[in-house]
Amino acid sequence: MRTRPRLYVSYSSEMALLPTWTQKIAALAFLAFLVIVPFGVIPGLGFLSDNDWLKLLSRVAIFAIGALGLHILSGLAGQVSLGQAFFVGIGAYTAAVLGGEVGKSTWGLGLPIWIWLPAAGIVAALVGALIAPTAVRVRGIYLAIVTLGLVFFGEWIFRSTPFITGGAQAGREFPSLQFRFWKEEVPFLDFTTDGSWFGISVTSEAKTYLLLLIFVIMAVIITKNIQRTRTGRAFMAIRDRDIAAEVMGVAEAKNKLIAFALSSGFAGLTGAILGAFVGRLVPEGFSLFMSIQFVAILLIGGIGTVSGALLGSAFVILLPRIVQDFTGFLASVAESGSGFFSWFAGIFVSTGIDDPGIVSTLPGTSPGLNIGQFNLFLYGLLLIGFLIFEPLGLYGIWIRVRNYWKSWPFTY
Protein backbone atom coordinates (compact mmCIF):
# COMPACT_ATOMS: atom_id res chain seq x y z
CA MET A 1 0.00 0.00 0.00
CA ARG A 2 2.91 2.31 0.54
CA THR A 3 3.28 2.90 -3.17
CA ARG A 4 -0.31 3.46 -4.14
CA PRO A 5 -0.69 6.64 -6.19
CA ARG A 6 -1.78 9.64 -4.19
CA LEU A 7 -0.94 8.10 -0.86
CA TYR A 8 1.69 10.30 0.64
CA VAL A 9 3.22 9.68 4.02
CA SER A 10 5.50 12.69 4.05
CA TYR A 11 5.65 16.11 2.48
CA SER A 12 8.86 15.33 0.68
CA SER A 13 7.37 12.24 -0.88
CA GLU A 14 4.47 14.30 -2.16
CA MET A 15 6.89 16.73 -3.68
CA ALA A 16 9.07 14.06 -5.24
CA LEU A 17 9.29 14.01 -9.02
CA LEU A 18 8.49 10.32 -9.16
CA PRO A 19 6.71 9.46 -5.92
CA THR A 20 6.19 5.72 -6.36
CA TRP A 21 8.51 2.88 -7.22
CA THR A 22 6.27 1.92 -10.12
CA GLN A 23 6.71 5.38 -11.55
CA LYS A 24 10.45 5.30 -10.98
CA ILE A 25 10.79 1.99 -12.77
CA ALA A 26 8.45 3.00 -15.57
CA ALA A 27 10.32 6.25 -16.11
CA LEU A 28 13.64 4.45 -16.13
CA ALA A 29 12.37 1.81 -18.53
CA PHE A 30 10.98 4.44 -20.86
CA LEU A 31 14.24 6.34 -20.73
CA ALA A 32 16.17 3.19 -21.52
CA PHE A 33 13.81 2.58 -24.41
CA LEU A 34 14.43 6.08 -25.77
CA VAL A 35 18.18 5.63 -25.46
CA ILE A 36 18.34 2.36 -27.38
CA VAL A 37 15.94 3.54 -30.13
CA PRO A 38 18.71 4.64 -32.52
CA PHE A 39 20.46 1.28 -32.36
CA GLY A 40 17.60 -0.57 -33.97
CA VAL A 41 17.60 -3.41 -31.48
CA ILE A 42 13.99 -3.08 -30.39
CA PRO A 43 12.00 -5.84 -32.04
CA GLY A 44 9.20 -4.46 -34.14
CA LEU A 45 10.31 -0.86 -33.86
CA GLY A 46 13.53 -1.21 -35.78
CA PHE A 47 12.31 1.29 -38.34
CA LEU A 48 12.71 4.02 -35.71
CA SER A 49 16.47 3.75 -36.14
CA ASP A 50 16.19 4.81 -39.78
CA ASN A 51 17.68 8.22 -40.38
CA ASP A 52 14.42 9.83 -41.39
CA TRP A 53 12.64 8.60 -38.26
CA LEU A 54 15.54 9.63 -36.04
CA LYS A 55 15.34 13.09 -37.54
CA LEU A 56 11.62 13.18 -36.87
CA LEU A 57 12.20 12.11 -33.27
CA SER A 58 14.89 14.78 -32.92
CA ARG A 59 12.39 17.31 -34.19
CA VAL A 60 9.93 16.08 -31.56
CA ALA A 61 12.60 16.73 -28.94
CA ILE A 62 13.27 20.23 -30.25
CA PHE A 63 9.61 21.20 -30.26
CA ALA A 64 9.13 19.61 -26.85
CA ILE A 65 11.59 22.13 -25.36
CA GLY A 66 9.64 25.06 -26.78
CA ALA A 67 6.38 23.47 -25.74
CA LEU A 68 7.67 23.10 -22.19
CA GLY A 69 8.41 26.81 -22.26
CA LEU A 70 4.88 27.60 -23.33
CA HIS A 71 3.69 25.17 -20.69
CA ILE A 72 5.29 27.35 -18.03
CA LEU A 73 3.60 30.48 -19.38
CA SER A 74 0.21 29.10 -20.41
CA GLY A 75 -0.13 25.85 -18.53
CA LEU A 76 1.18 27.08 -15.19
CA ALA A 77 0.73 30.84 -15.20
CA GLY A 78 -2.37 30.76 -17.39
CA GLN A 79 -1.27 33.46 -19.83
CA VAL A 80 -2.46 32.96 -23.40
CA SER A 81 0.40 33.50 -25.82
CA LEU A 82 0.50 33.31 -29.59
CA GLY A 83 3.95 34.87 -29.62
CA GLN A 84 6.16 31.85 -29.04
CA ALA A 85 7.47 31.92 -32.63
CA PHE A 86 8.89 35.40 -32.07
CA PHE A 87 11.04 34.21 -29.17
CA VAL A 88 12.08 31.12 -31.09
CA GLY A 89 13.28 33.51 -33.77
CA ILE A 90 15.16 35.69 -31.29
CA GLY A 91 16.97 32.64 -29.95
CA ALA A 92 17.74 31.31 -33.40
CA TYR A 93 19.27 34.57 -34.58
CA THR A 94 21.22 35.10 -31.37
CA ALA A 95 22.76 31.70 -31.96
CA ALA A 96 23.35 32.49 -35.62
CA VAL A 97 25.17 35.74 -34.91
CA LEU A 98 27.25 34.37 -32.04
CA GLY A 99 27.97 30.91 -33.40
CA GLY A 100 27.54 31.28 -37.15
CA GLU A 101 30.24 31.95 -39.71
CA VAL A 102 30.53 35.28 -41.45
CA GLY A 103 28.55 35.08 -44.68
CA LYS A 104 28.62 37.25 -47.76
CA SER A 105 26.34 39.73 -46.10
CA THR A 106 25.65 38.22 -42.70
CA TRP A 107 27.31 38.71 -39.35
CA GLY A 108 28.81 35.79 -37.49
CA LEU A 109 31.33 35.51 -34.68
CA GLY A 110 31.98 31.77 -34.90
CA LEU A 111 31.95 31.29 -31.13
CA PRO A 112 31.64 27.77 -29.69
CA ILE A 113 28.40 26.12 -28.69
CA TRP A 114 28.83 26.60 -24.96
CA ILE A 115 28.51 30.31 -25.61
CA TRP A 116 25.85 30.53 -28.30
CA LEU A 117 23.44 28.00 -26.89
CA PRO A 118 23.05 29.50 -23.40
CA ALA A 119 23.20 32.99 -24.90
CA ALA A 120 20.25 32.19 -27.17
CA GLY A 121 18.19 31.29 -24.11
CA ILE A 122 19.36 34.29 -22.11
CA VAL A 123 18.79 36.87 -24.85
CA ALA A 124 15.33 35.51 -25.59
CA ALA A 125 14.52 35.53 -21.88
CA LEU A 126 15.67 39.15 -21.61
CA VAL A 127 13.52 40.14 -24.57
CA GLY A 128 10.63 38.30 -22.95
CA ALA A 129 11.21 40.20 -19.69
CA LEU A 130 11.36 43.44 -21.65
CA ILE A 131 8.00 42.80 -23.26
CA ALA A 132 6.34 41.41 -20.15
CA PRO A 133 5.42 44.78 -18.54
CA THR A 134 3.30 45.61 -21.61
CA ALA A 135 1.80 42.15 -21.72
CA VAL A 136 1.00 42.23 -18.02
CA ARG A 137 -1.21 45.26 -18.55
CA VAL A 138 -3.63 43.38 -20.76
CA ARG A 139 -5.30 40.07 -20.07
CA GLY A 140 -7.28 37.35 -21.75
CA ILE A 141 -8.11 37.79 -25.38
CA TYR A 142 -6.37 41.16 -25.52
CA LEU A 143 -3.18 39.41 -24.51
CA ALA A 144 -3.69 36.85 -27.28
CA ILE A 145 -3.89 39.66 -29.85
CA VAL A 146 -0.92 41.54 -28.41
CA THR A 147 1.24 38.42 -28.53
CA LEU A 148 -0.03 37.79 -32.04
CA GLY A 149 1.12 41.29 -32.89
CA LEU A 150 4.51 40.29 -31.56
CA VAL A 151 4.80 37.66 -34.29
CA PHE A 152 4.07 40.20 -37.03
CA PHE A 153 6.45 42.60 -35.36
CA GLY A 154 9.09 39.88 -35.37
CA GLU A 155 8.52 39.14 -39.04
CA TRP A 156 9.10 42.80 -39.81
CA ILE A 157 12.29 42.97 -37.71
CA PHE A 158 13.66 39.74 -39.13
CA ARG A 159 13.12 40.72 -42.76
CA SER A 160 14.50 44.22 -42.16
CA THR A 161 17.80 42.98 -40.75
CA PRO A 162 19.35 40.94 -43.56
CA PHE A 163 22.78 41.20 -41.95
CA ILE A 164 21.43 39.07 -39.11
CA THR A 165 18.80 36.90 -40.74
CA GLY A 166 20.10 36.68 -44.29
CA GLY A 167 17.00 38.48 -45.54
CA ALA A 168 13.49 37.42 -46.40
CA GLN A 169 13.13 34.41 -48.69
CA ALA A 170 16.88 33.85 -48.50
CA GLY A 171 17.84 32.97 -44.95
CA ARG A 172 21.24 32.13 -43.58
CA GLU A 173 23.33 29.24 -42.35
CA PHE A 174 23.27 28.39 -38.66
CA PRO A 175 26.08 27.06 -36.46
CA SER A 176 26.24 23.29 -36.31
CA LEU A 177 26.11 20.98 -33.33
CA GLN A 178 29.85 20.75 -32.72
CA PHE A 179 31.53 21.18 -29.37
CA ARG A 180 34.76 23.16 -29.36
CA PHE A 181 36.77 24.66 -26.53
CA TRP A 182 37.32 27.78 -28.58
CA LYS A 183 37.61 28.32 -32.31
CA GLU A 184 39.93 25.39 -33.00
CA GLU A 185 39.68 23.49 -36.28
CA VAL A 186 38.68 20.06 -34.99
CA PRO A 187 35.76 19.85 -32.56
CA PHE A 188 36.18 17.50 -29.60
CA LEU A 189 32.59 16.40 -29.91
CA ASP A 190 31.01 16.41 -33.33
CA PHE A 191 27.37 15.63 -33.91
CA THR A 192 27.46 16.24 -37.62
CA THR A 193 29.57 13.27 -38.66
CA ASP A 194 29.20 9.54 -38.19
CA GLY A 195 31.52 7.95 -35.69
CA SER A 196 31.79 5.37 -32.99
CA TRP A 197 31.14 5.71 -29.31
CA PHE A 198 32.49 3.09 -26.89
CA GLY A 199 33.06 0.75 -29.78
CA ILE A 200 29.54 1.10 -31.12
CA SER A 201 29.21 2.90 -34.43
CA VAL A 202 26.69 5.72 -34.35
CA THR A 203 25.44 7.82 -37.23
CA SER A 204 25.32 11.59 -36.97
CA GLU A 205 21.53 11.34 -36.82
CA ALA A 206 21.73 8.98 -33.85
CA LYS A 207 24.25 11.22 -32.11
CA THR A 208 22.07 14.27 -32.62
CA TYR A 209 19.04 12.41 -31.38
CA LEU A 210 20.81 11.35 -28.20
CA LEU A 211 22.10 14.88 -27.59
CA LEU A 212 18.63 16.33 -28.02
CA LEU A 213 17.26 13.65 -25.74
CA ILE A 214 19.60 14.89 -23.04
CA PHE A 215 18.43 18.46 -23.68
CA VAL A 216 14.79 17.45 -23.33
CA ILE A 217 15.42 15.52 -20.14
CA MET A 218 17.16 18.57 -18.72
CA ALA A 219 14.27 20.77 -19.81
CA VAL A 220 11.77 18.38 -18.22
CA ILE A 221 13.65 18.31 -14.93
CA ILE A 222 13.93 22.11 -14.89
CA THR A 223 10.23 22.51 -15.64
CA LYS A 224 9.21 19.93 -13.06
CA ASN A 225 11.36 21.66 -10.50
CA ILE A 226 9.98 25.09 -11.29
CA GLN A 227 6.54 23.60 -10.83
CA ARG A 228 7.23 22.56 -7.26
CA THR A 229 8.95 25.70 -6.07
CA ARG A 230 7.47 28.84 -4.61
CA THR A 231 7.54 30.47 -8.07
CA GLY A 232 5.68 27.58 -9.64
CA ARG A 233 2.99 27.69 -7.02
CA ALA A 234 2.72 31.45 -7.48
CA PHE A 235 2.20 30.88 -11.23
CA MET A 236 -0.61 28.45 -10.55
CA ALA A 237 -2.22 30.78 -8.05
CA ILE A 238 -2.23 33.54 -10.68
CA ARG A 239 -3.64 31.15 -13.25
CA ASP A 240 -6.47 30.05 -10.99
CA ARG A 241 -7.50 33.50 -9.77
CA ASP A 242 -5.16 36.40 -10.28
CA ILE A 243 -6.78 38.84 -7.87
CA ALA A 244 -7.06 36.23 -5.15
CA ALA A 245 -3.40 35.46 -5.63
CA GLU A 246 -2.50 39.10 -5.29
CA VAL A 247 -4.57 39.41 -2.14
CA MET A 248 -2.62 36.50 -0.72
CA GLY A 249 0.63 38.32 -1.35
CA VAL A 250 1.66 36.82 -4.67
CA ALA A 251 3.17 39.65 -6.69
CA GLU A 252 1.28 39.36 -9.96
CA ALA A 253 3.41 41.55 -12.19
CA LYS A 254 6.68 40.14 -10.93
CA ASN A 255 5.62 36.53 -11.34
CA LYS A 256 4.11 37.09 -14.77
CA LEU A 257 7.40 38.68 -15.78
CA ILE A 258 9.28 35.62 -14.52
CA ALA A 259 6.90 33.35 -16.40
CA PHE A 260 7.37 35.32 -19.61
CA ALA A 261 11.14 35.31 -19.22
CA LEU A 262 11.33 31.57 -18.50
CA SER A 263 8.99 30.71 -21.34
CA SER A 264 10.87 32.93 -23.78
CA GLY A 265 14.16 31.45 -22.61
CA PHE A 266 13.00 27.94 -23.45
CA ALA A 267 11.71 29.21 -26.78
CA GLY A 268 15.08 30.81 -27.47
CA LEU A 269 16.89 27.56 -26.80
CA THR A 270 14.47 25.83 -29.14
CA GLY A 271 15.27 28.34 -31.83
CA ALA A 272 19.02 27.91 -31.44
CA ILE A 273 18.79 24.12 -31.54
CA LEU A 274 16.32 24.17 -34.41
CA GLY A 275 18.64 26.36 -36.43
CA ALA A 276 21.59 24.11 -35.72
CA PHE A 277 19.54 21.02 -36.49
CA VAL A 278 18.02 22.26 -39.75
CA GLY A 279 21.12 24.18 -40.88
CA ARG A 280 19.31 26.93 -42.74
CA LEU A 281 16.19 28.91 -41.87
CA VAL A 282 14.38 31.80 -43.53
CA PRO A 283 12.83 34.57 -41.42
CA GLU A 284 9.37 33.66 -42.69
CA GLY A 285 9.63 30.42 -40.73
CA PHE A 286 8.98 32.19 -37.43
CA SER A 287 5.39 32.78 -38.34
CA LEU A 288 2.03 32.58 -36.70
CA PHE A 289 1.82 28.98 -37.87
CA MET A 290 4.77 28.06 -35.67
CA SER A 291 3.13 29.76 -32.68
CA ILE A 292 -0.07 27.89 -33.38
CA GLN A 293 1.88 24.68 -33.51
CA PHE A 294 3.17 25.21 -29.98
CA VAL A 295 -0.30 25.99 -28.67
CA ALA A 296 -1.67 22.95 -30.51
CA ILE A 297 0.99 20.78 -28.90
CA LEU A 298 -0.13 21.88 -25.45
CA LEU A 299 -3.82 21.48 -26.17
CA ILE A 300 -3.54 18.11 -27.90
CA GLY A 301 -1.17 16.79 -25.27
CA GLY A 302 -3.18 18.11 -22.38
CA ILE A 303 -2.69 21.58 -21.02
CA GLY A 304 -1.11 22.05 -17.62
CA THR A 305 1.00 18.92 -17.53
CA VAL A 306 4.59 18.21 -18.51
CA SER A 307 3.68 14.81 -19.93
CA GLY A 308 1.05 16.55 -22.01
CA ALA A 309 3.65 18.83 -23.57
CA LEU A 310 5.82 15.84 -24.44
CA LEU A 311 2.98 13.69 -25.76
CA GLY A 312 1.64 16.62 -27.74
CA SER A 313 5.00 17.29 -29.39
CA ALA A 314 5.28 13.69 -30.45
CA PHE A 315 1.75 13.68 -31.79
CA VAL A 316 1.88 16.97 -33.69
CA ILE A 317 5.30 16.34 -35.23
CA LEU A 318 4.71 12.71 -36.13
CA LEU A 319 1.16 13.18 -37.40
CA PRO A 320 2.05 14.30 -40.95
CA ARG A 321 4.41 11.36 -41.38
CA ILE A 322 1.88 8.88 -40.07
CA VAL A 323 -0.83 10.30 -42.31
CA GLN A 324 1.55 10.16 -45.25
CA ASP A 325 2.39 6.52 -44.66
CA PHE A 326 -1.20 5.63 -43.90
CA THR A 327 -2.43 7.23 -47.11
CA GLY A 328 0.27 5.51 -49.13
CA PHE A 329 -0.71 2.25 -47.50
CA LEU A 330 -4.39 2.78 -48.30
CA ALA A 331 -3.54 3.68 -51.87
CA SER A 332 -1.60 0.45 -52.28
CA VAL A 333 -4.51 -1.47 -50.76
CA ALA A 334 -6.98 0.25 -53.04
CA GLU A 335 -4.88 -0.37 -56.11
CA SER A 336 -3.65 -3.84 -55.53
CA GLY A 337 -6.62 -5.83 -54.51
CA SER A 338 -10.27 -6.43 -54.22
CA GLY A 339 -12.52 -7.14 -51.29
CA PHE A 340 -13.84 -5.06 -48.50
CA PHE A 341 -10.66 -3.37 -47.41
CA SER A 342 -9.75 -2.36 -50.88
CA TRP A 343 -13.23 -1.00 -51.39
CA PHE A 344 -13.04 0.88 -48.14
CA ALA A 345 -9.61 2.30 -48.96
CA GLY A 346 -10.89 3.26 -52.39
CA ILE A 347 -13.48 5.54 -50.85
CA PHE A 348 -10.77 7.23 -48.88
CA VAL A 349 -8.06 7.74 -51.47
CA SER A 350 -8.24 8.86 -55.03
CA THR A 351 -5.67 7.10 -57.16
CA GLY A 352 -6.77 8.21 -60.57
CA ILE A 353 -8.47 10.99 -62.43
CA ASP A 354 -11.89 9.38 -62.47
CA ASP A 355 -11.62 8.03 -58.95
CA PRO A 356 -13.22 10.27 -56.37
CA GLY A 357 -11.83 10.22 -52.86
CA ILE A 358 -10.97 12.39 -49.91
CA VAL A 359 -7.21 12.27 -50.44
CA SER A 360 -5.59 12.49 -53.80
CA THR A 361 -2.40 10.54 -54.32
CA LEU A 362 -1.79 12.35 -57.59
CA PRO A 363 -1.75 16.05 -56.72
CA GLY A 364 -2.78 18.15 -59.66
CA THR A 365 -4.84 15.64 -61.55
CA SER A 366 -6.99 13.47 -59.34
CA PRO A 367 -9.80 14.98 -57.30
CA GLY A 368 -9.73 15.42 -53.56
CA LEU A 369 -7.39 17.19 -51.19
CA ASN A 370 -3.72 16.62 -51.87
CA ILE A 371 -1.68 14.99 -49.14
CA GLY A 372 -0.41 18.30 -47.78
CA GLN A 373 -3.89 19.75 -47.63
CA PHE A 374 -5.21 16.57 -46.08
CA ASN A 375 -2.58 16.79 -43.38
CA LEU A 376 -3.62 20.33 -42.51
CA PHE A 377 -7.27 19.34 -42.67
CA LEU A 378 -6.76 16.43 -40.31
CA TYR A 379 -4.61 18.55 -38.01
CA GLY A 380 -7.45 21.05 -37.69
CA LEU A 381 -10.10 18.39 -37.23
CA LEU A 382 -8.06 16.60 -34.56
CA LEU A 383 -7.60 19.85 -32.69
CA ILE A 384 -11.34 20.47 -32.76
CA GLY A 385 -12.02 16.90 -31.73
CA PHE A 386 -9.66 17.03 -28.79
CA LEU A 387 -10.94 20.38 -27.60
CA ILE A 388 -14.55 19.27 -27.67
CA PHE A 389 -14.32 15.66 -26.56
CA GLU A 390 -11.12 15.42 -24.56
CA PRO A 391 -10.12 18.78 -23.14
CA LEU A 392 -7.36 17.10 -21.16
CA GLY A 393 -5.80 15.88 -24.40
CA LEU A 394 -3.69 12.78 -24.77
CA TYR A 395 -2.79 13.02 -21.11
CA GLY A 396 -6.49 12.78 -20.26
CA ILE A 397 -6.84 9.68 -22.42
CA TRP A 398 -3.84 8.18 -20.66
CA ILE A 399 -5.34 8.89 -17.22
CA ARG A 400 -8.58 7.26 -18.34
CA VAL A 401 -6.79 4.17 -19.62
CA ARG A 402 -4.73 3.96 -16.45
CA ASN A 403 -7.73 4.30 -14.19
CA TYR A 404 -9.53 1.64 -16.16
CA TRP A 405 -6.75 -0.87 -15.72
CA LYS A 406 -6.09 0.10 -12.13
CA SER A 407 -9.43 -1.24 -11.05
CA TRP A 408 -9.80 -3.90 -13.72
CA PRO A 409 -11.78 -6.18 -13.79
CA PHE A 410 -14.03 -4.15 -11.54
CA THR A 411 -15.70 -1.05 -12.91
CA TYR A 412 -15.23 0.89 -9.72
Report the site for another protein in 254-313 (rule: CB under 8 A).
274, 278-282, 284-285, 288, 292, 295-296, 299, 303
- Would you say 128 or 171 has its CB closer to another protein? 171
| Nearest alpha-carbon partner for 69 in 299, 234, 252, 260 | 260
Examine residue 377 and tell whether it contacts another protein (CB under 8 A). Answer: yes
Tell me how far, at minimum, the Cβ of 294 lies from another protein, in Å: 11
Tell me how far, at minimum, the Cβ of 409 lies from another protein, in Å: 12
- Would you say 122 or 358 has its CB closer to another protein? 358
Examine residue 406 and tell whether it contacts another protein (CB under 8 A). Answer: no
Stretch of 93-101, 111-119, 255-263, 338-346 lying at the interface with another protein (CB under 8 A)? 338-346
Report the site for another protein in 170-229 (rule: CB under 8 A).
170-172
HSE at residue 340, side-chain half, CA atoms within 13 A, is 0
> Which of 10, 12, 181, 339 touches another protein by CB under 8 A?
339
Tell me how far, at minimum, the Cβ of 58 lies from another protein, in Å: 10
- Would you say 94 or 361 has its CB closer to another protein? 361
| Cα–Cα distance list, 85 to 69, 71, 100, 290 (Å) | 12, 14, 21, 6
| Cα–Cα distance list, 339 to 174, 325, 345, 348, 360 (Å) | 52, 21, 10, 15, 21
Report the site for another protein in 82-111 (rule: CB under 8 A).
82, 103-105
Tell me how far, at minimum, the Cβ of 29 lies from another protein, in Å: 14
Tell me how far, at minimum, the Cβ of 265 lies from another protein, in Å: 21
Q: What is the end-to-end Cα distance of the chain in Å, rounded?
A: 18
| Cα–Cα distance list, 378 to 160, 316, 350, 355, 393 (Å) | 35, 11, 17, 21, 16
Report the site for another protein in 126-165 (rule: CB under 8 A).
134, 137-138, 140-142, 144-146, 148-149, 152-153, 156-157, 159-161
Alpha-helical runs (H) found in 18-140: 21-36, 51-70, 84-99, 113-137
Contact 274, 67 (CB under 8 A): no
Report the site for another protein in 11-50 (rule: CB under 8 A).
44-47, 50
| Nearest alpha-carbon partner for 160 in 252, 78, 83, 93 | 93
CA angle 57, 62, 65 (to 5 degrees): 125
Tell me how far, at minimum, the Cβ of 126 lies from another protein, in Å: 19
Q: How far apart are CA 331 and CA 349, in angstroms?
A: 6
Tell me how far, at minimum, the Cβ of 131 lies from another protein, in Å: 10
- Would you say 17 or 168 has its CB closer to another protein? 168
C-alpha of 104 from chain center = 32
> Which of 14, 52, 194, 240 touches another protein by CB under 8 A?
52
Contact 39, 49 (CB under 8 A): yes
Contact 71, 223 (CB under 8 A): yes
Tell me how far, at minimum, the Cβ of 166 lies from another protein, in Å: 7
DSSP code of residue 38 = G
> Which of 11, 354, 410, 412 touches another protein by CB under 8 A?
354
> Which of 372, 402, 403, 406 touches another protein by CB under 8 A?
372
